[in-house]
Structure 1
Amino acid sequence: MSFKPSYNYITASDFAKAWREQNSKPSQKGWTVIDVRDDDFEGGHIKGCRNIPSTQFPDQVEKLVEELKNAKSVLFHCSLSQARGPKAARIYKETREDAIQAGKIDSKQEQNVTVLREGFSNFGALYKNEEDLVEDYDEESWKYR
């Protein structure tokens, strides 16, 4: 038996391309970015992301599912996307499925739940100088991580 997560992964380069396409067309609302880093959020982040620390995520997930019920794609990530980001994506997806079963969300409203492969550590290193993708990047913060 093999394990298949209920979410997809996307590489930094593929996400950068999709994020730029979305932001070049204001009428196109495709991606919502949820950054679940805790104290390590300081030092830079994807421009336009929403920070919900992993320690607070379980208490906020039902509200988040309701707020994002019409979003086409939701991207989760943490620093490396090895634990906190994938866990948040799984919890979000399960909570969304429960809301669909309870009739709170239209089951016809499809949503892509995705995790950023290698997290912000990789994304930030690649795109730290590109203001349309990364903001508040602080090189000093990353020297000790």
Structure 2
Amino acid sequence: MIPAAPACLPWHAAYPAPRTVASSISRLDLLGWMKEGKEVGKDYVLIDLRRTDFEGGTIRGSLNLPAQSLYPTIPTLYSVFSQARVSKVIWYCGSSRGRGTRAAGWFAGYLEEQKNGEMESLVLEGGIKGWAAAGDDYTRLMDDYDESKWTE
């Protein structure tokens, strides 16, 4: 069972603070990977951490794993990604300054505990908002893109 934070505290207060600061990846670098033909799910995994603000589209191939339920699932995710030989796990939320950095840090810390130097936990700079605002090259690579959600 997932512990609940008291109503006056943020959701992440129920979990420990990340011990590790994850590296980041720019949207330009990720776009380059996509254009080069690197495969989502094979070469890297994209994880969209949004829950209640999950609207307007998502980067093509992303898994939606809301941050609020992520922490207890990290060992299972690690096992799945390891067996699939995924080398990069990229986390993002709206801006990637809260949920994205927290999730990437938790996962990076878990990788350190497992002494896994082959898999990397990365946070997408600027999050989905930065991606959607960067123009057609980016929005063409979004599933369920709804321009009205990004121009309000």
Task: Give the TM-score, by structure 2 length.
Answer: 0.75
The answer for the alignment partner of 2:94 in structure 1 is 79
User: Deviation of residue 132 (structure 1)?
Assistant: 5.4
Q: Which runs of 4+ in 1 moved over 6 A?
A: none
Check whether the contact 1:22–1:30 (CA below 8 A) recurs between aligned residues.
Answer: no
Matching of residues 108-127 of structure 1 within 5 Å: 110-127=118-135
The answer for the alignment partner of 2:150 in structure 1 is 142
Task: Give the TM-score, by structure 1 length.
Answer: 0.78
The answer for the alignment partner of 2:50 in structure 1 is 37
User: Deviation of residue 78 (structure 1)?
Assistant: 0.6
The answer for the alignment partner of 1:9 in structure 2 is 24
Q: Distance in 2 between matches of 1:92 and 1:46?
A: 20
User: Deviation of residue 142 (structure 1)?
Assistant: 2.5
Q: Distance in 1 between matches of 2:135 and 2:53?
A: 18
Check whether the contact 2:139–2:145 (CA below 8 A) recurs between aligned residues.
Answer: no
- Relative to 1, partners in 2 of residues 1:127 and 1:71: Cα closer, same or farther, differing over 3 Å? farther
User: Deviation of residue 128 (structure 1)?
Assistant: 5.3
| Count of residue correspondences | 131
User: Identity, % of aligned pairs?
Assistant: 28
Matching of residues 45-124 of structure 1 within 5 Å: 45-69=58-82, 70-98=85-113, 100=114, 107=116, 110-124=118-132
Check whether the contact 1:73–1:114 (CA below 8 A) recurs between aligned residues.
Answer: yes
State the superposition RMSD in angstroms: 2.4
Q: Distance in 1 between matches of 2:109 and 2:74?
A: 10
Q: Distance in 2 between matches of 1:87 and 1:75?
A: 12
Check whether the contact 1:128–1:134 (CA below 8 A) recurs between aligned residues.
Answer: no
Q: Distance in 1 between matches of 2:139 and 2:95?
A: 21
Q: Distance in 2 between matches of 1:20 and 1:127?
A: 15
Give the stretch that moved more between structures: 58-67 or 72-81: 58-67
User: Deviation of residue 127 (structure 1)?
Assistant: 4.5
Gaps of 5+ in 1: 102-106
Q: Deviations over 1:41-87 (max 9, x none)?
A: 22110000011001111122111111112211111111101010010
- Relative to 1, partners in 2 of residues 1:133 and 1:52: Cα closer, same or farther, differing over 3 Å? same
